């Protein structure tokens, strides 16, 4: 059985005070949510404080990106995975479509970052997903497949134990246009078949594949109802403790 993961991606929102406030408001609301792993991803500057304030709770803290290496060095503006771990995080999101679109993230850099994050002891949420034009031209599967091949290149079956895939169709992110449960299931099933091809059926069967893109309290249950949907990566609806907790407690 795969334990679901519900992760909140706060993107570039919330000053420190508000980040702590939201995290502390969330804590009691999900304290009994043992059916899934709960993760929140605040901005870098709030990671340490939020992680400290959540210590001993069942909420895990993730960064939204990391550097390609753990070695300290002349890399102005970068944050090494080992530093993210040092700040109290257990997870990192890598390859979000906003980073691919606006900050030059490539499958190759996703792969390097993922390897560095794994060696720092972090679990990695690797994001994949096609754009609207890629879907409309019938290339959704081949795009996602090459993101998986590139992003996970060289990873072993045991590395995969700390990898979570987030399928986030770009056209569904922040648009209010969720993939239908059928569209999500179709792509999640495809992703699992690709993983079975690259790493074997057993590894593929135990991987968690999250859906992301306009997940809300009122559509989470129908998404989670699908065999290959093992959780969600939530943007907008994770910013408020009440709505995020309703997503966590979708059952």
Q: What residues act catalytically?
A: 96, 168
Residue 95's region, left for phi above 0, alpha for psi from -120 to 50, else beta, is left
Question: Using CB under 6 A, which of the segments 76-84, 110-118, 142-150, 207-215 binds ligand PGA?
Answer: 207-215
For the segment 144-183, give every residue that binds ligand PGA (CB under 6 A). Answer: 168, 173-174
When the beta carbons of 6 and 233 are compared against ligand PGA, the nearer one is 233
User: Is residue 233 part of the contact set for ligand PGA (CB under 6 A)?
Assistant: yes
CA nearest neighbour of 138 among 150, 130, 149: 130
Q: Assign 182 to helix, strand or coil.
A: helix
When the beta carbons of 73 and 242 are compared against ligand PGA, the nearer one is 242
CA 150 remoteness from chain centre: 17
CB neighbours (10 Å) of residue 73? Answer: 10
CA 182 remoteness from chain centre: 21
User: Is residue 65 part of the contact set for ligand PGA (CB under 6 A)?
Assistant: no
| CB-based burial label for 160 (10 Å; 0-12, 13-18, 19+) | buried
Whole-number minimum distance, CB 74 to ligand PGA, in Å?
31
For the segment 2-41, give every residue that binds ligand PGA (CB under 6 A). Answer: 9
Whole-number minimum distance, CB 10 to ligand PGA, in Å?
10
Residues at the interface with ligand PGA (CB under 6 A) = 9, 168, 173-174, 212-215, 233-237
């Amino acid at each position: 059985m795969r334990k679901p993961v519900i992760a909140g991606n706060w993107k570039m929102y919330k000053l420190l005070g508000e980040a702590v406030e939201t995290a502390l408001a969330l804590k009691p609301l999900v304290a009994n949510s043992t059916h899934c792993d709960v993760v929140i991803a605040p901005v870098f500057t709030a990671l340490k404080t939020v992680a400290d304030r959540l210590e001993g709770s069942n909420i895990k803290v993730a960064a939204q990106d990391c550097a390609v290496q753990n070695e300290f060095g002349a890399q102005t503006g970068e944050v090494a995975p080992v530093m993210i771990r040092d700040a109290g995080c257990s997870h990192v999101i890598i390859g979000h479509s906003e980073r691919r679109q606006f900050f030059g993230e490539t499958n190759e850099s996703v792969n390097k970052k993922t390897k560095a994050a794994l060696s720092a002891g972090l679990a990695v949420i690797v994001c994949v997903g096609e754009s609207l034009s890629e879907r409309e031209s019938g290339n959704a599967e081949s795009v996602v497949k090459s993101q998986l091949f590139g992003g996970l290149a060289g990873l072993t079956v045991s590395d995969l134990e700390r990898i979570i895939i987030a399928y986030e169709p770009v056209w569904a992110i922040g648009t209010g246009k969720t993939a239908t449960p059928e569209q999500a299931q179709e792509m999640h099933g495809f992703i699992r078949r690709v993983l079975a091809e690259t790493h074997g059926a057993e590894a593929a069967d135990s991987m968690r594949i999250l859906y992301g893109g306009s997940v809300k309290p009122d559509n989470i249950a129908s998404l989670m109802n699908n065999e290959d949907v093992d959780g969600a990566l939530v943007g907008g609806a994770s910013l408020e403790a009440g709505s995020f907790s309703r997503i966590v407690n979708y059952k």
